A and B are shown apart, each in its own frame.
Chain A
Amino acid sequence: MRRALACAAAPLSRSAARPRAQEPLFDEEFQRKLEYLALVSRRVFSGAMKAERRTKKTGSGVEFADRREYVAGDDFRHLDWHAYGRFDELLLRLFEEQEDLSIYFLLDSSWSMGFGSGAKLRHAKRLCAALAYVGLANLDRVAIVTAGDRVTGRMPPTRGKARIFRVFRFLEAVSPDGDTDLGAAARAFAAQHKRRGLAVLLSDLYDPAGFESGINALRYSRFEPLVLHIVEPADRAPLLKGDLLLRDCESGEEREVTVSGRVLARYGQAYDAYLESVRRFCTAKRVSYFAADVRVPFDELILRLFRRGGFLR
C-alpha cells in the first residue's frame, strides 16, 4: 500500500501529472481505430481453422513443402509422378501444415508501470488490446497474462472478434501491483502455457535482476518473444532538483542525491544507454524489439510495428 502510494505520489518527484482516471480506456474512437488496424493486418494472418498464419510444420496443407521416399502405407495420392518420370524413384510430396497462431500478451503490471500518472500501463493496455484485436480478427488464439514478479492475472486463450470486449474488461481491471521480476514471471508463464506461440512482452523493462532474464526465459521456452518496450519521457527527464532522498517505488531502496543540472544530464545519458542496451540485446538475440513511446498514439505505433514486421508475417 505504501509503495502504491509512493508510486502514485508523483508530485513528490514532480515527474508527471496525475492519471486521468476519468477518461475511458477503450472508447468508441479507440474501437474505430481497432477496426482499421484489423483491416490493415488482414492480408498477413492465417491459421489451421481457417486462421491465416502458416506454420513450418508439414501437414495437410495445399502448399508444397518437400519430398521424401515412399514407404508402404503412405498415401499414394501424394506420389510425385513427375519426379518418378525423371528420377525413376517413388517420392512422396509433403505439404505445409496450416494451423491458428497463439498470441500471448505478457503485460508487465508492476509498480513501475503505474509510476507517476500511470501513462505507461495505460499505454501498454491500449497496445495490448489493439494487438489482441488484430489477432482475434485474424482468428488467432489470444491470451493475456499480467505479471510483476509473478503471474497476477490471466485471461485464457480465446478467439473471435467478439471476444474483444472480454479483453477490454480484463485489461480495465488491471492495476499496478508487485515488483518487477521478468525472469520469474516469464518462467511461470511458460510453465502454465504448453502451447507455444508469439509472446508479446509489454513492459518498461525496469527489472533490477536485468531485463535479459525475462526475454531469455521466453526464448528458452521456445516462445517467439516480441518486446514492446514502453518508454515515458518523464522517466528520462524527471523534474527533480536539489537535495533529495530518492526512493525506488518497487524495492523501496533509498539513496541520497543532490540533483543538479549536471546530474540530470548524466542521468539522461544513463537512461539512453539503458535503452540502447536493450535494443542491442534484442538485436543480438534476434528478438523483435520495438520502443513504444507513450506520447505516440497507439494506432500509429501499431502501424509502424506492422511496417517493420515481427508481429505480422
Chain B
Amino acid sequence: MHFFGISTTLLLQAGAGLAAVVVALYILRLRRRPASVPFAKLWQRVLRDKESSALFSQLRRLLSLLLQLLLLGLLLLALADPRPSAPAAGARHLVVLVDASASMKATDVGPQGAAAAGPAGAVASGPRSRLELAREKVRELGRSLSGADAMLVAQMDAALTPLSSMTSEPAEIEQAARRLAAVDVRAALAPALRFALDALRALSRPEIVVVSDGALGEPSDAAGPVDLGDVPLSFVPVGKGGRNVAVTGFAVRRYPLDKSRYEVMLEATNAGDEPEDVELELYGDGELSDIVALRLGPHESRSRFYPNLSGASRTLEARIALRGGGRDVLPADDRAFALLPERRRARVQLVTAGNTYLEAALLLDEYLEVVTVPPGRYPAAGAFDVTIFDSVGPALAPHSGHVLYLNPSGEHLPFKLGPEIKSARGRNVGFDELDAHSPLLRHVSLGDVNVARAHVLEGTKEDRAVGRSERGALLLQGRRQGTRFVALGFDIRESDLPLRIAWPLLLLNVISDFIEEDIGYVSSLRTGDVWHVPAPGQAQTGRLRLPDGSEQVVPIKDGRAVFLGRHAGFYTLLVREGAEERTSMFAANMSDPVESAVKPATELRVGARQAGELAGFAVGARRRWWIYLIGAALLITALEWLGYHRRVTV
C-alpha cells in the first residue's frame, strides 16, 4: 500500500497525539452530572440490583472509547489517501496517442463546447478544431476510467511527447489534455506506436488508443513495420469535412550569376473532392506583388513560376484563399514563407602569383570585393570573409576568414597532402565519386573533368570528401577551430575545369557557402524536420525566436543551431558573442500534401490489423479508498451518536 496524502511519519505522529486527546476528552466526558432526587433510598433499591452489571457497564464505556479511536483512525487513514501498491488484477492500461499534426487544426467539427479550455487554460472562440474535439475525447476517456484503470496521454506529431504518466488522476489527465496543441507537421505513427508498446510492457490489459483524423504516416520506420503483438488497438476518428486548398510548395532561388534577381516556384493544391476557385497572392516584404485566380480541380496540384523577380530584399509570402468567401477548414496551410538572404559585399583575399582563370571567375559576382595579394605579401590589411590560396599554403593569418585552397602546398595546411597522381594513357585522373547533395556542387557537374596531375587530400574523419578519384579525395571540405576550408587538390590550369561553366559555379558556390549565401537553399526549411541552421560566431547556444514570438534556447554544434521545427513562419536566431548579438533569419513551411488532404479517415490500419472502435468504457466508481474510509467514519459517527443517546455505549 502507498500513501498519497500525508506521509506515514506525520500520520503516526498525528495519530498518537490525537488519540491522546480523544482519551483525555473521553475521560472528561465520564464525569457525571449531578442530579438531585427527593428520596435516594428508592434509588438504592434499584442500584442494589445493578451492582452485578458494573463490569458490563465498564465494558460499554470501553466500547465507546474504542469507537472514538476507531473513528479517529479512519479519518487519519483517509487523509493519508492509501492506494494499493500494485494495480488490481484486471486493471486496464491505456496509452492514448493524440494526433497533433497540422490537419488537426481543421475547423470542421462545429462550434466551441462548454469545456473547451486549451493550452494554459485559454478558451478559444470561434469554430472548434479537430484537436479540440480530440481533447474532449481524452477528457471523456479520463472520466470513464474505473477501478484501478490508468491511462497515459501522449501528443503525436513529428516526435512523440508524453504529456502525463500512467495515471488515473483526473487532475493529471486534465492537465495533459490542456497541453495538447496542434503543430504544422505530419504525425509520425511508427515511433508513437513503439513508445506505446514500450510503455505498456508488463502491464495488465494494455491497449492503445489513437485519436486522429487519420492523416498519419506509415506505421513503419527504419526498424521496419510496427508489430503490435496482442495489444489491442482502438481508433477514435475526429473530423468531418474535406474541403481544403493549400500552398504545398514554395521555393525561391537567386540566379547564380545575378543574385539581385530571383525566381519563385509556388504550388497550389486542392485537397477537396470538388473543384475550387482560388486566388494566389504573392507578397514581397509584406507588399502584394502578384495576384492570380485559378480554378483547381478535385485533388489537383498546380505549380506556378514567377521568373526574374526583383525588389524584395528579405521576406516572401504566398497566400491562397477560396474565391467568393468560402471557408477553408485548414487555414494553417494557406500561407507559405520564404526568405531571401541578405546580399552583402563579401571581402575576398586572393593570394596568388597570378591566375587569370581564377581572377576572371571572381569578377562574375559584383558583390565580391576582391583583394589580390602576392604570396610574399600575405596577409593583406583588413579583415576578409574568404581567403583563396592559389598554389600556396602559408600559415593562416588572423582575419583571413574561411579558406579555399587551390592546388595546396606547404607545411601549414590543415590537412595532409597525399601522393601525387597523374593521368596516364587510358587512365585519366578525375572525379570518380561526387557528393551530389553538397551545396558546393549545386548546379555543378564535375563528373567529366579531366585532371592532368593532382594530389590526394587526406583529412580527418570529420572532414568531408566532396569529390574523390579512385585514389583519394580531390575536393575536401572541413573545419579547423571554427575556420572552414575547402581544398581542391589540383591546379585548375592543369585541368579542363576552367573551360567549363562548372568552374565559376564551383568557385561561387564555395564562396557562397562560406558566407552563407546558398543560392539554392535560401527559400525555407520544412517543418517536422530537425533543422541545422548556420549560426554566426562561436557560441555554444543561441536563442531562437519562433513565429509566435516566443523564444527558446537551442544548442549550437559545429556552427549550426539544432532544432526540431514544428511551426511554419519566420524564425530569428540570436547568438551572443561577447557584447555583440548577431541575428539571422530563416523561414519554415509545412508544404505537406498529405497533411493538407484533410478528409478524415474512417479506419486505421497497422499492418494487417485494423483498429477497432473504442469500447468498454463507462462511468464507474474509482477505487479511492479514502472515500470508503470517510463513509465508514460517518457511519460509525452516526452509530456512536445513536448508541450514546440510546445509552447503549454510555
Is B truly associated with A? yes
B47 to chain A, nearest CB (A): 6
In whole angstroms, how far apart are the Cα atoms of A244 and B36 in the complex? 10
Flag the segment in B27-35, B189-197, B572-580 that touches A: B27-35
Query: Are B38 and A12 in touch, CB under 8 angstroms?
Result: no
In whole angstroms, how far apart are the Cα atoms of A13 and B36 in the complex? 6
Q: For window 294-344 of chain B, which residues contact chain A by CB distance below 8 Å? A: none
Query: Are B33 and A12 in touch, CB under 8 angstroms?
Result: yes
Which residues of A sit under 8 angstroms from B50, Cβ to Cβ? 257, 263
Contact of B37 among A242, A248, A258, A260 (CB under 8 A): A248
Which residues of A sit under 8 angstroms from B39, Cβ to Cβ? 112, 204, 206, 235, 248
Which residues of B sit under 8 angstroms from A246, Cβ to Cβ? 35-37, 40, 43
Contact of B38 among A9, A249, A260 (CB under 8 A): A249
Query: Are A13 and B647 in touch, CB under 8 angstroms?
Result: no
Which residues of A sit under 8 angstroms from B43, Cβ to Cβ? 246, 255, 257, 267, 270
Query: Are A257 and B47 in touch, CB under 8 angstroms?
Result: yes
Q: State the total of A-B contacts with C-beta under 8 angstroms.
A: 97
In whole angstroms, how far apart are the Cα atoms of A267 and B37 in the complex? 12
Contact of A243 among B33, B36, B40, B49 (CB under 8 A): B33
Which residues of B sit under 8 angstroms from A139, Cβ to Cβ? none
In whole angstroms, how far apart are the Cα atoms of A12 and B36 in the complex? 7
Query: Are B37 and A241 in touch, CB under 8 angstroms?
Result: no
Q: For window 220-253 of chain A, which residues contact chain B by CB distance below 8 Å? A: 235, 238, 240-251, 253
Interface 1/0 per residue, A67-109 and B, CB below 8 Å? 0000000000000000000000000000000000000000000
Contact of A251 among B31, B40, B49 (CB under 8 A): B40
Which residues of A sit under 8 angstroms from B34, Cβ to Cβ? 12, 244-245, 247
B317 to chain A, nearest CB (A): 88
Which residues of B sit under 8 angstroms from A271, Cβ to Cβ? 42
Q: For window 35-62 of chain B, which residues contact chain A by CB distance below 8 Å? A: 35-47, 49-50, 57
Q: For window 103-155 of chain A, which residues contact chain B by CB distance below 8 Å? A: 111-112, 115-116
B141 to chain A, nearest CB (A): 56
Which residues of B sit under 8 angstroms from A12, Cβ to Cβ? 33-36
In whole angstroms, how far apart are the Cα atoms of A244 and B45 in the complex? 16
A230 to chain B, nearest CB (A): 11
In whole angstroms, how far apart are the Cα atoms of A245 and B35 in the complex? 6
What interface size band does chain A fall in? 35 or more
Does B650 sit at the interface, judged by CB under 8 A? yes
Query: Are A115 and B42 in touch, CB under 8 angstroms?
Result: no
In whole angstroms, how far apart are the Cα atoms of A241 and B33 in the complex? 10
B394 to chain A, nearest CB (A): 111
Q: Which residue of A lies closest to B39 (CB)?
A: A206
Q: Which residue of B lies closest to A114 (CB)?
A: B38
In whole angstroms, how far apart are the Cα atoms of A25 and B324 in the complex? 106
Query: Are A255 and B35 in touch, CB under 8 angstroms?
Result: no
Query: Are A243 and B47 in touch, CB under 8 angstroms?
Result: no
Interface 1/0 per residue, B18-33 and A, CB below 8 Å? 0000000000001111
Which residues of B sit under 8 angstroms from A185, Cβ to Cβ? none
Query: Are A204 and B38 in touch, CB under 8 angstroms?
Result: yes
In whole angstroms, how far apart are the Cα atoms of A271 and B57 in the complex? 24
In whole angstroms, how far apart are the Cα atoms of A238 and B39 in the complex? 12
Known contacts A243-B30, A266-B46, A270-B45: A115-B647 contact under CB 8 Å: no
Contact of B36 among A247, A257, A263, A270 (CB under 8 A): A247
Query: Are B41 and A208 in touch, CB under 8 angstroms?
Result: yes
Does A28 sit at the interface, judged by CB under 8 A? no
Query: Are B647 and A242 in touch, CB under 8 angstroms?
Result: yes
Does A256 sit at the interface, judged by CB under 8 A? yes
Does A165 sit at the interface, judged by CB under 8 A? no
Most buried by A among B30, B38, B41: B38
Query: Are A6 and B33 in touch, CB under 8 angstroms?
Result: no
Query: Are B33 and A235 in touch, CB under 8 angstroms?
Result: no
A82 to chain B, nearest CB (A): 62
Does A261 sit at the interface, judged by CB under 8 A? yes
Query: Are A240 and B35 in touch, CB under 8 angstroms?
Result: yes
Query: Are B42 and A274 in touch, CB under 8 angstroms?
Result: yes
Query: Are A9 and B49 in touch, CB under 8 angstroms?
Result: no
B643 to chain A, nearest CB (A): 12
Which residues of B sit under 8 angstroms from A259, Cβ to Cβ? 647
Known contacts A255-B43, A257-B43, A266-B46: A7-B38 contact under CB 8 Å: yes
Known contacts A12-B33, A243-B30, A243-B33: A260-B647 contact under CB 8 Å: yes
Contact of A263 among B37, B38, B40, B46 (CB under 8 A): B46
Contact of A247 among B35, B44, B45 (CB under 8 A): B35
In whole angstroms, how far apart are the Cα atoms of A263 and B35 in the complex? 15
Contact of A242 among B33, B36, B42, B47 (CB under 8 A): B33
Q: Which residue of A lies closest to B41 (CB)?
A: A208
A150 to chain B, nearest CB (A): 19
In whole angstroms, how far apart are the Cα atoms of A251 and B41 in the complex? 10
Query: Are B44 and A255 in touch, CB under 8 angstroms?
Result: yes
In whole angstroms, how far apart are the Cα atoms of A263 and B30 in the complex? 18
Which residues of A sit under 8 angstroms from B650, Cβ to Cβ? 242-243, 258
In whole angstroms, how far apart are the Cα atoms of A267 and B40 in the complex? 11
Q: Which residue of B lies closest to A271 (CB)?
A: B42
B119 to chain A, nearest CB (A): 62
Which residues of B sit under 8 angstroms from A250, Cβ to Cβ? 38
In whole angstroms, how far apart are the Cα atoms of A10 and B37 in the complex? 9
Q: Which residue of B lies closest to A274 (CB)?
A: B42
Query: Are B40 and A6 in touch, CB under 8 angstroms?
Result: no
Q: Which residue of A lies closest to B30 (CB)?
A: A243
In whole angstroms, how far apart are the Cα atoms of A271 and B43 in the complex? 9
Q: Which residue of A lies closest to B42 (CB)?
A: A270
In whole angstroms, how far apart are the Cα atoms of A116 and B49 in the complex? 27
In whole angstroms, how far apart are the Cα atoms of A151 and B33 in the complex? 35
Contact of A115 among B38, B41, B46, B57 (CB under 8 A): B38
Which residues of A sit under 8 angstroms from B647, Cβ to Cβ? 241-242, 258-261
Query: Are A245 and B40 in touch, CB under 8 angstroms?
Result: no
A229 to chain B, nearest CB (A): 13
Which residues of B sit under 8 angstroms from A255, Cβ to Cβ? 40, 43-44, 47
Q: For window 196-213 of chain A, which residues contact chain B by CB distance below 8 Å? A: 204, 206, 208
In whole angstroms, how far apart are the Cα atoms of A250 and B650 in the complex? 29
Q: For window 595-650 of chain B, which residues contact chain A by CB distance below 8 Å? A: 647, 650
In whole angstroms, how far apart are the Cα atoms of A246 and B650 in the complex? 17
Q: Which residue of A lies closest to B29 (CB)?
A: A243
Which residues of B sit under 8 angstroms from A240, Cβ to Cβ? 35, 37
A248 to chain B, nearest CB (A): 4
Query: Are B57 and A13 in touch, CB under 8 angstroms?
Result: no
In whole angstroms, how far apart are the Cα atoms of A257 and B50 in the complex? 9
Interface 1/0 per residue, B188-213 and A, CB below 8 Å? 00000000000000000000000000
Which residues of A sit under 8 angstroms from B31, Cβ to Cβ? 243
A234 to chain B, nearest CB (A): 9
Contact of A238 among B30, B37, B44 (CB under 8 A): B37
Which residues of B sit under 8 angstroms from A263, Cβ to Cβ? 46, 50
Query: Are A245 and B38 in touch, CB under 8 angstroms?
Result: no
Which residues of A sit under 8 angstroms from B44, Cβ to Cβ? 255
In whole angstroms, how far apart are the Cα atoms of A177 and B632 in the complex? 56
Q: Which residue of A lies closest to B44 (CB)?
A: A255
In whole angstroms, how far apart are the Cα atoms of A274 and B41 in the complex? 10
Query: Are A253 and B40 in touch, CB under 8 angstroms?
Result: yes
A2 to chain B, nearest CB (A): 11
Which residues of A sit under 8 angstroms from B57, Cβ to Cβ? 258
Query: Are A235 and B32 in touch, CB under 8 angstroms?
Result: no
Query: Are B40 and A248 in touch, CB under 8 angstroms?
Result: yes
Which residues of B sit under 8 angstroms from A115, Cβ to Cβ? 36-38
Q: For window 395-437 of chain B, which residues contact chain A by CB distance below 8 Å? A: none
Query: Are B33 and A267 in touch, CB under 8 angstroms?
Result: no
A178 to chain B, nearest CB (A): 14
Report 12 cross-chain contacts, Cβ distance below 8 Å, ordered by A residue.
Answer: A9-B36, A12-B33, A13-B36, A13-B37, A15-B37, A204-B38, A242-B647, A243-B30, A247-B40, A266-B46, A267-B46, A274-B42
Given contacts A12-B33, A270-B46, 4 further A-B contacts (CB under 8 A): A238-B37, A244-B34, A260-B647, A263-B50
Closest 4 CB pairs of A and B: A248-B40, A206-B39, A115-B38, A260-B647
Partner-A contacts on B (CB < 8 A)? 30-47, 49-50, 57, 647, 650
